[in-house]
Chain A
């Protein structure tokens, strides 16, 4: 019944979660950062069974009547969550230590949330998917409010929590309607049954509610309004995690329900996601133009990126007989590359904000003249987000456009044109930060002498690795593309 080899990665991470919590009891106050080391070791250990699973040729390993599955998609996403965990841990160590709040529990919650993402990647029925999603969200609510003496952090957590609960309720309601109509919880079962109920209004409503529920998670417009406040108030490493890990978890959910569970009803989710994609791109980008705070700017940029990631869905759903594989692959590629560059951007933002003592873009003027290293990396990540070759972001946009145009009709061409115009708008606000950093004179109150402490080694390691990844993937996108291709096989089209 249980395939322990297949479950090993999740078990190891679950064990790590507990070990971190236990370790916290015994670590002296000055050494709490060792919890993070335990976490990193545990995550590394979890990569071993993933490697052996990937090397094995047993194909798909299904458990619990196909509810819990290890296939290429699950493996690729598990690795993605583990690597995200690595980076966020590295980003957090110095930040949390300086903050003087509890540390051990922080790592515990972070790893628990990651575990949720790993569970989602394997889930192939609605209940497992929902449990995984809640495991992602629950700890994240607490993490957002980590700076408990800071009222903005409290606000962030409260907004996130209220919206999170609301969206979970909508999601579950939608799932219950779908279950009621199809009589099945597994995605395969729903897919098989959906042909006979596709015309039923209740089934359509169920699908729409599920999409709305996930719309909150991926912060797509018009379900995005919590994101900027939460991102701004939460501790920055947590924001990085929310914008990458939590958002990726949301996309795992959308990918699974649309292509697999509702694969037989693209005429329902296609137009819906077309609207969400177009709105997210346009609204996210236009509001980002007006932001003065770097974290809020990145929050709106991440909303816009959610729009770009939704574009292939809309294309696949709107064109009769379109290849779902290609669209699936495009979104997976986009999520993976977005993860690299957005984590990198936040890591550098932490360093730059610490150096300048401010998150206002205006206060970063002239950063390039007294902190060139940080500035070069910041430029790298921001222009990668803008999609400028040869940085990794170009390939994400490229496959997105490829997916849209491959079986084009009028609707998808319009969407492609909207996306193209938005890619240009996005450049403007990223370039504005770069302009402030490199081309404006530093404000007078900034002390240009190098700081004695400098960037903490763990943070430096985090953005160093990501910077290498952004360039290498940009020049050899095949590195990412092959994983996305392997993962897309479950879409079946």
Chain B
């Protein structure tokens, strides 16, 4: 297995989907079965190697980069193909590989219009490579490439397979289709952020004469980056990552993109793509610029609590079920960012487990919302109702997942919120206690609001009597593909809730090492 530990294993996890996508190009468009099996096979192979990586991983030394390699890539600019895995990236890598497999399984029989499974699967596999690559990249340029690689597939996924209803935009006379508006908005927002992020990366690389993230983190810990330079660089990185998270007030692309995307697109967006931003804070911004992180932390905390409250209140104003779940992401990512802002091991571990939990839970919610839309042909909560009577299994799953989302102890959603609040009671020494304890209190109010809107949604959608318009409808409950895609997620929700060590076992030590290096 030596070859596996020398970087080949991780490279396989990252690039197998890409190979699958290229192979798919050669499959004739009509031969859908071959396309589906090929895509599923490569995604499972990628997940398999991801799981092997989790077993080969040395948990006793989770803070160190493992299973990686460093090969010369672009010597002209001093950038290398440097990859590696530590306790923070490991859970994210496995999560992303797993969600891709489930997305393909779910798609098996649920192709959004205009059909074309071949094209859809190619995009999913491209996304898989981009997401996995971002989590293993240990070189800023490589990270940037993978970070951007997800843009195109998601743009096409929303733009081609997205919501075809018309919207009227303020200030424009013509109506446009939601998918067109949402896809370009997503693309422009993210590219805007990442253009500045790239400037930040370049400034760091030029100053330190290396693009290697571990080397930059060593330099950062020894105080190599200070003054106006560090301030500007952190600002640039902040812009890039904050758009992706998204943090309030840069979040406006999110509800549109999530709502317009096809089900699988929303799932991948919510479960993985958003995490690229918060992961960037943990992996790059904080370790490399610890002093700037300290001075920006209160601002991040304030924005995070605004996101929590704003997201929750916005949820209460929604009539569209999918849009409600989209706004709930804003709130949940607010907790993740609050955890990160504390700059304590507790807070950042909270962020990591919050990221995984949000990925699993909100991914599941989007699956459910998509399947309901598929059956009811509407997302309007006013027209839904009594879902539990019409489709008991699906309704039950929705109830369960919503409970997990609102942070019920014993389920996955609890740990991230709870630990983030715990962390902000006692943030890193030198940070303003006033700001963080106020944030904690407001955040705690946010958890109540979160419970409020999710219960409100359940009440409207799941409970009560079915509306008269559905009387003549025959609803079939969860089918076997949906079962196959959802049961693993439900198991994960319980497993992480009862036994959070699945995530923290690796992440805890890695976060500790990271923090010790940066701040002590």
Contact = CB atoms under 8 A, between A and B. Distances in A.
Interface of A: 329, 383, 388-390, 394-395, 398-399, 401-402, 405-406, 408, 413, 416-417, 420-421, 423-424, 427-428, 431-432, 435, 438-439, 476-478, 481-482, 484-485
B199 A398 contact: no
Contact of B74 (A389, A416, A438, A477): A477
Interface string B295-331: 0000000000000000000000000000000000000
Given A388-B148, A427-B188, A398 B77 contact: yes
B196 interface: yes
A439 B159 contact: yes
B219 interface: no
Interface in B144-160: 144-145, 148-149, 151-152, 155-156, 159-160
Nearest to A399: B77
B73 to A, nearest CB: 7
Given A389-B149, A405-B206, A485 B199 contact: no
B75 interface: yes
A209 B139 CA distance: 45
Contacts of B192: 421, 424
Contacts of B159: 435, 438-439
A388 B153 CA distance: 12
Contact of B195 (A329, A406, A420, A476): A420
Given A405-B203, A423-B191, A424-B192, 19 more contacts: A389-B145, A390-B145, A394-B145, A395-B74, A398-B77, A398-B141, A405-B199, A405-B206, A416-B199, A417-B199, A420-B199, A421-B195, A424-B195, A431-B155, A431-B184, A439-B159, A476-B73, A477-B74, A478-B75
A191 B478 CA distance: 79
B167 to A, nearest CB: 15
28 contacts: A329-B76, A388-B148, A388-B152, A389-B145, A389-B148, A398-B77, A398-B202, A399-B77, A401-B198, A402-B77, A402-B205, A405-B202, A417-B199, A420-B199, A421-B192, A423-B195, A427-B188, A431-B184, A431-B187, A432-B184, A435-B183, A435-B184, A438-B156, A439-B180, A477-B74, A477-B76, A478-B75, A481-B77
Interface in B186-214: 187-188, 191-192, 195-196, 198-199, 202-203, 205-206
Contacts of A427: 187-188, 191
B332 interface: no
B115 to A, nearest CB: 12
B81 to A, nearest CB: 10
Contacts of A431: 155, 184, 187
B77 A420 contact: no
Contacts of B199: 401, 405, 416-417, 420
Contacts of A413: 232
Interface residues of B, number: 33
Interface in B46-93: 73-77
B275 interface: no
A431 B183 CA distance: 10
B510 to A, nearest CB: 28
Nearest to A426: B191
A481 B160 contact: no
Interface string B155-178: 110011000000000000000000
Contacts of B244: none
B160 A485 contact: no
A428 B195 CA distance: 14
Contacts of A408: 203
Given A398-B77, A408-B203, A485-B76, A388 B151 contact: yes
A435 B75 CA distance: 36
A20 B144 CA distance: 48
A482 B72 CA distance: 14
Contacts of A405: 199, 202-203, 206
B179 interface: yes
Nearest to A428: B188
Residue among A394, A423, A427 having the largest count of chain B Cβ atoms under 10 Å:
A427
A421 B236 CA distance: 13
Contacts of B179: 439
A427 B206 CA distance: 26
B122 to A, nearest CB: 10
A423 B198 CA distance: 12
Contacts of B184: 428, 431-432, 435
A329 B74 CA distance: 14
Contacts of B188: 424, 427-428
Contacts of A383: 152
Interface in B223-264: 232
A485 B74 CA distance: 12
Nearest to B151: A388
Contacts of A428: 184, 188
